[in-house]
Copies of this chain bind each other. A is one copy, B any other.
Amino acid sequence: MPLAPGSTIGILGGGQLGRMLALAAARLGFDVVVLEREADSPAGRAAAKLIVADYADETALAELASFTGVVTYEFENVPASSVRWLAARGVKVAPGARALAVAQDRFEEKSFLNAHGAPTVAFAPADTPQEAYQAVLNIGVPALMKTRREGYDGKGQRWVERVADAAAAFEALGGVPVIVEAAADFVRELSAIAARGRDGTTAVYPLAENHHEHGVLRRSLAPARVSKVLSDQAERIATRVLAGLDYVGVIGIELFEMADGRLLVNEIAPRVHNTGHWTQDGCEVDQFEQHIRAIAGWPLGPTHAIAQVEMLNLLGDEAEAWAKYAAEPETRIHIYGKRGAKPGRKMGHINRVKSL
């Protein structure tokens, strides 16, 4: 460390985040090896080498380890055992096992956050229908019940409107361990994309304001219009979270802005994040290069905004309107190379850019 250009970086996962990480790594002179289950994937087609295997396949992990000294992942549900397997063989996996463990369990995550001065809504775990009932009773309704593990983009969660519905909701989520969260009466959803280098230095991008539809991010506006007090608060939270996890790489921190001006952390994602895509056209060093810099032991790059950006996700068949977007002078196009446009699937995004 630091890792020199010409070295190889491994990425677990072949989706769009892996693809954009691979493109950023290539620009800096790195080769990328992707380990991914599917033979045909967005990141696989942008990498120097592709290993097709399950993320827990030890032969594949050994092959990955033979190529590369640094491995990262593009999604937080990669098996913790794979990360431990690689780390035990001297491969530097970043972000590390601690970040992954915290991010993979919503109860661990919120417990960690509160313990490190990053406030959240009230919450309680429940492993049985009885505990679920008690948790909803304690938290109050409406409450949001989520599986502790897995789930993304609104999947694996449901609202509980009446205490009497708690046990049924628990069963509907599969009878697996859950977390019950108080409803956050927020005025705005924001997010902080932050990075921490191997030397412990941190850098936080300007906040993004995010709008979701049906549990999926629709658009981000960045830099969000926020007071200095608010952005300082976000920076404090980000710094505490990064230090608490002894983190290396880029993290996405989803925030609720409350009516009283407080920020609560909704969730953290130990990876580059959809709400950070605006940095590709709004910053000198985007979140993808920043992540590669961090895990490679390079100094972090600048995070200030050089433009005002509206990021719009292209879901399902919306990416078919690429020709319209290509004709807009202010619009930068990012399309992921996914083969099938299922409804709601993230196929690409655009960044509409205005001068600050």
Contacts and interface: CB of A to CB of B under 8 A. Distances in A.
Nearest to A320: B4
A88 interface: no
Interface string A21-36: 0010011111100000
Contacts of A281: 284
Nearest to A6: B337
Sort chain A's interface into a size bin.
Answer: 35 or more
A270 interface: no
A293 B28 CA distance: 23
Contacts of A355: 306
A34 to B, nearest CB: 12
A29 B322 contact: yes
B6 A26 contact: no
21 contacts: A4-B322, A5-B319, A5-B335, A6-B335, A6-B339, A23-B23, A23-B27, A26-B45, A26-B46, A26-B337, A27-B333, A27-B334, A27-B335, A28-B335, A29-B333, A29-B336, A31-B45, A284-B353, A298-B326, A302-B329, A306-B355
Interface of A: 2, 4-6, 19, 23, 26-31, 45-46, 48, 281, 284-285, 293, 298-299, 301-302, 306-307, 319, 322-323, 326-327, 329, 332-337, 339, 348, 353, 355
